[in-house]
Structures are given as C-alpha cells and as structure tokens.
Copies of this chain bind each other. A is one copy, B any other.
Amino acid sequence: MRERTGRRRRGGAAAAAIEAGPPKSPQQAQRRVRNPYRPIEILADDALDRIHDASITILEEIGVDFLSGEAREIAKTNGADVREGSERVRFDRALVMELIAKAPERVRLHARNPDHDLELGGDALAFCMVASTPNCSDLEGGRRRGNFKDYQDFLRLSQQLNICHLNGGYPVEPIDLPPSTRHLDALHALATLTDKPFHAYSLGRERIRDGIEIARIARGVDAQTLAREPSLFTIINTNSPLKLDIPMALGIIEMARAGQIVVITPFTLSGAMAPVTLAGALAQQNAEALAGIAFAQMVRPGAPCLYGGFTSNVDMKSGAPAFGTPEYTRAAQISGQLARRYRLPFRSSNVNASNAPDAQAAYESEMAVWGAVMGGCNMMMHALGWIEGGLCASFEKVIMDAEILQMIAEYLQPIEVSEATLGLDAIRDVGPGGHFFGTAHTLARYESAFYAPMLSDWRNFETWAEAGSVDATRRAHALYKQHLAEYEAPPMAAERREALDAFVAKRREEGGAPAD
C-alpha cells in the first residue's frame, strides 16, 4: 500500500521520511466538515405539515406510555394530561410546540481535547464510529461475539482515523466483561484510549450518572462547567410504538438535568413497529421524537436535544429489517426536513444490511450516506464499520467507510474560481494539442491538487494483478491492522488520569451497577 500514500508524502518523500520516521498510513488531515448545500426536500411544505399535524394528533389523542412514575409525575407537573392508574401521557398541541421551541438550534459537544470539540447543528456534519453491535468481524478472525479486546481496537481506530469525529456508544458490546461493572471499564477506555467526544448508555440511573462523572473527570472541569459545556451524549430509542421505558426516561432525566445532550431516536421500522406506509411511520416517529424532546425540556428548559431519524422498513417476507434502501433514504431526508422545521440538529446514520464488508455493504451504505448528507444531517451515527443491520461491527468496513466519508468531506470543500485557478495563461501557453504535465501552473499545484485515497487502488490492471489482485476488502484488512500498529494513546494529564482511575476503582468496589 506504500505507493498509495496520501498527498502529504508526494514530492520530497525521501526527506520527509528521514524527518518523520517510517511512513504513516495514508489519510486526510483532521478537519471540521461543513455542508454548504441546501438540503434536498423530499416533501413539499403542505405534505410536511400533514405529517406534523398527524403526529400532533397522535400526541393529543393517543398519547405515549411512560413506564416511569417519576417521568409521569414530571409530565403531569408540566401540563401534560396524565391520569391516575394509567401510564398514558398526552400532550396538547400548544404545550408540545412551546416546549420544543426551548431546545437550542445548535449545540457544542466538548471533548477532553478541545481540538475535537464538535458543533452539532447548522451546516456542521460529524461522523461517529459504529455502535451497539453484539458481534464483530475481520477477515482473519471471522465473526465473533463482542469482547473487550476488539472493543478497545475499535476505539483505537476511532482515535486514529481523522475522519471519525466521535464515538456513539460501544462499537461492539464487550460481553466478556461482567454486566455490573462493564460500563465502568468501557467508559474508562473511551475516556483514555480516545480524546474525542463520547456517549453513555441510558441503562439505569447509576450507569448514566457514572457516564456523566467520567466525562466530567476526563475534561477536568466542575459540574457547573460541565452543565454549560455538554461533554457527553446519550441515544434515547423510544420503544416503538409509542412507549418510553424506565431506563430511557431516567436517561433523559439525568442527562437533561446535568445539561448533557440527549438524542431522541425512535426506531420505527415501517411494517413492524410502525405503519407499513412511510407517511405513517414518519408521523409516528415524529410523535415519539417530539414527546421525548418535549419531556427533556420539562426536565430542564433549554436542554440540548437532537432529532434522530431511523425509520426504515422490514422485508415483508422475512421480517428482517432492511437498511440503505430507497425507503430508508427518503425517510431520513424527510426526518431532516422535520428536524429543521423544529430548528433542531438532525441525527442520521450510515446503515446497510449486508452480511459482509462487500459491494452490497458499500452501495447500501452510500445510499444512506448520500441521503444523510444531502438531507442536512448534522451527526451521522454508525458512520464507520456498521454491517448486518447493526448486528456486527466490521474492521474492514471501518476503513471502507473512512474512505467514503473522506471523499464526502472533500466533495463538500468549496472550489476556488479565480484568475489564478482559471489558468487562461496556461491554456494559452499549452495551446491546442499540447499537454499540461510540465507547465508552471501544474508544477505549482500538483502536490495538493487532488484527493489522495486511503483505500482505493488506482494502479493499472496489470500492475494490480501482478501484485496479487487484492480487492478493496482485503486491502481494508491490511490498512486497519496498519492503523492499529501506528496507534498512540492521546496524552492525558496525570491528575486527570489518576482521578479517573480512582473513580472507576471506587465504583467497582461499590459493585458498579448491579442488575435490578
């Protein structure tokens, strides 16, 4: 792969090698990604209004079951219709809109390394490592249950790859760690192996409080600063249709109180947990998302929330969920329209249903990625490594996605149109029938003129065949290993590290979060 290295090493490569030691794996430099284009609008305003109206009718007339008594109490106190002896919570139109309006339009997610702070909202776009898969795989070891070794390797890749901006949970579930203390080890690893923002699961009050405390210690700030500077996020999946379970409700309560970010993402699979029609599934998604966000605003007005869209469909023959389909893409883009209607940052995903990191994984992912980007996504979950509809994290897919996302980031860069770049003098000098290889205009620019790939192989067929006809998936395997070999843990001030270790040790002694 050496001859495919990034643009940094073009020209003067020998000198650079002496200074910098062995060549690093190719990749683009770290950058913040901004999307300058107007999002695609799948629905006209009146159709979007009809979805909004239907979701408001759902909240007014049908309501949502809140399984937590504490949550129902908060809802009742804040004007929702909650009746004795029922879990049902109904919201009237004016209440919902008043609450939603309190959520900020954009929010800054802080990392322990400020270089990795992220804007969420507006034209900003952030890419998140795969999360929450029970299995992982690579070509060498095959498919296996999640474990702490692989978990840490995914975190190392999330740190190593510049195009990965944050972690969105556990890339793979470290099933070999005991459940009561797993979150302590997993969060400790997130806070030490990476210095990018991260996520804690809403799995009960103790775990989410531990997550908030670990994020605070890792940043070295007090609770007041943490509340002003969100440094942790949690994904709230409503239990579609129209239910919010106790751990999720407690997650909203604890995170909103602490000023941390809540991403409400109903998992509305059209044909299973939501109507078989996209319009119906989206009306239900929107009702659930609005209920969750309105509830967070009841807990703490101004609590930072993201609007998450995850509507896809099931294969009606097998019941298996499908991802990266035309339905998924349109649902994601309509979700973006809805999020912008409510002036909320929009969370989407990079998804596919392929059983291997192959061409299907690539083309289904591209449907999701282009759909998300053109739909105004601000935070792309599962952006690197997801396969099998979320049942597996693939090391090779991490690299494949890194290339896809790097290309998107470069595509979103503006193009300079000036006298210098129009190059009329060069065109005049070369004239009809000539070529531009040796011109001064070319020589002054060739080193950084074009995107340099990390995974794509542009050698001619003969050279590629002589080198063993290695396809993209097998090249991705070599590259992920190379990136792991080059990984270096980000520095952490000794006192923060000690405080973190001590907190985890103390909580472990206390038994972590015993199953209740």
Nearest B residue (CB) for A475: B360
- State how many angstroms separate the Cβ of A111 from the closest Cβ of chain B: 26
Asked if B62 and A436 make an inter-chain contact with CB atoms under 8 angstroms apart, the answer reads no
Q: Which of A418-460 contact B (CB under 8 A)?
A: 418, 420-424, 426-428, 430-437, 441-442, 445-447, 449-451, 453, 455-460
For the complex, is A494 an interface residue (Cβ under 8 Å from B)? Answer: no
Q: Which residues of B contact A279 (CB under 8 A)?
A: 415-418, 421-423
* Copy count, this protein chain: 2
Known contacts A88-B432, A359-B471; is-contact A411 B329 (Cβ 8 Å): yes
Q: Which residues of B contact A242 (CB under 8 A)?
A: 427, 431-433
For the complex, is A407 an interface residue (Cβ under 8 Å from B)? Answer: yes
For the complex, is A124 an interface residue (Cβ under 8 Å from B)? Answer: no
For the complex, is A353 an interface residue (Cβ under 8 Å from B)? Answer: yes
Stretch at the interface among A159-167, A229-237, A267-275: A267-275
Q: What 1/0 mask marks residues of chain A from 322 to 350 whose CB sits below 8 Å from any chain B CB?
A: 10011101100010000000000000000
Q: Which one of A358, A457, A469 has the highest number of Cβ atoms from chain B below 10 Å of its Cβ?
A: A358
- State how many angstroms separate the Cβ of A193 from the closest Cβ of chain B: 28
Asked if B327 and A427 make an inter-chain contact with CB atoms under 8 angstroms apart, the answer reads no
Q: Which residues of B contact A37 (CB under 8 A)?
A: 40-42
Asked if A354 and B456 make an inter-chain contact with CB atoms under 8 angstroms apart, the answer reads yes
Stretch at the interface among A47-55, A197-205, A250-258, A295-303: A47-55
Q: Which one of A54, A360, A434 has the highest number of Cβ atoms from chain B below 10 Å of its Cβ?
A: A360
For the complex, is A473 an interface residue (Cβ under 8 Å from B)? Answer: yes
Partner of A315, one of B51, B363, B435, B458: B458
Nearest B residue (CB) for A406: B326
In Å, the complex CA distance between A390 and B65 comes to 57
For the complex, is A367 an interface residue (Cβ under 8 Å from B)? Answer: yes
Q: Which residues of B contact A449 (CB under 8 A)?
A: 270-271, 276-277, 313, 316
Partner of A65, one of B359, B433, B441, B472: B433
Q: Which of A284-299 contact B (CB under 8 A)?
A: 284
For the complex, is A119 an interface residue (Cβ under 8 Å from B)? Answer: no
Q: Which residues of B contact A371 (CB under 8 A)?
A: 411
Partner of A424, one of B54, B357, B445: B54
For the complex, is A224 an interface residue (Cβ under 8 Å from B)? Answer: no
Asked if A334 and B415 make an inter-chain contact with CB atoms under 8 angstroms apart, the answer reads yes
Asked if A355 and B465 make an inter-chain contact with CB atoms under 8 angstroms apart, the answer reads yes
Q: Which residues of B contact A400 (CB under 8 A)?
A: 359, 363
In Å, the complex CA distance between A457 and B490 comes to 40
For the complex, is A507 an interface residue (Cβ under 8 Å from B)? Answer: no
Partner of A436, one of B64, B276, B315: B276
In Å, the complex CA distance between A276 and B10 comes to 16
Asked if A239 and B458 make an inter-chain contact with CB atoms under 8 angstroms apart, the answer reads no
Asked if B431 and A62 make an inter-chain contact with CB atoms under 8 angstroms apart, the answer reads yes
Q: Which residues of B contact A143 (CB under 8 A)?
A: 461
Partner of A447, one of B41, B239, B316: B316
Known contacts A400-B359, A432-B243, A442-B271; is-contact A410 B326 (Cβ 8 Å): yes
Asked if A450 and B391 make an inter-chain contact with CB atoms under 8 angstroms apart, the answer reads no
Q: Which of A397-419 contact B (CB under 8 A)?
A: 400, 403-404, 407-408, 410-411, 413, 415-418
Asked if B407 and A459 make an inter-chain contact with CB atoms under 8 angstroms apart, the answer reads no
Asked if B459 and A318 make an inter-chain contact with CB atoms under 8 angstroms apart, the answer reads yes
Asked if B461 and A388 make an inter-chain contact with CB atoms under 8 angstroms apart, the answer reads yes
In Å, the complex CA distance between A354 and B460 comes to 9
The 4 closest A-B pairs by CB, nearest first: A280-B423, A366-B366, A326-B410, A362-B362
Provide a sorted-by-A list of 16 A–B residue pairs whose CB atoms are within 8 angstroms: A37-B41, A38-B40, A40-B374, A50-B418, A50-B422, A62-B427, A62-B428, A63-B432, A272-B435, A284-B427, A316-B449, A318-B459, A325-B450, A359-B362, A360-B455, A360-B472
Given contacts A42-B415, A326-B407, A355-B469, 8 further A-B contacts (CB under 8 A): A242-B433, A243-B433, A270-B450, A272-B435, A313-B450, A320-B458, A359-B476, A391-B460
